[in-house]
Amino acid sequence: MKNVTIIWEAFSNATYGKATFTTIAIETEGSDLDICNQVFHDTNLYSGPIWDVLEKVLPWGRTHTALSVGDTIAIDGKSYRCEPLGWSLLEGAEA
């Protein structure tokens, strides 16, 4: 079981004043990058196994749920930023 925190940064300041986030626990054998790619895929299509779990625990009033450049995914203490192409590991970042 992996704890995955999805942190929406891209539209947070204008709308909410700070980043919003949601944490889910998922059963997977995939790598962290596999998880990042699956979260990106599922949140942009609003369907898939991670979306099915995530949709039930989204923050109240959250209307923009698709991941975009600048958003972060933390997986068991390691944080990854969504880049224009792929993911970057944020060294020393707290999840």
DSSP 30: S
DSSP 55: G
Model pLDDT for residues 23-53, shown as the tens digit of each residue: 888 888 889 999 999 999 999 999 999 999 9
Q: What is the pLDDT of residue 95?
A: 47
Confidence (pTM)? 0.83
Q: What is the pLDDT of residue 90?
A: 94
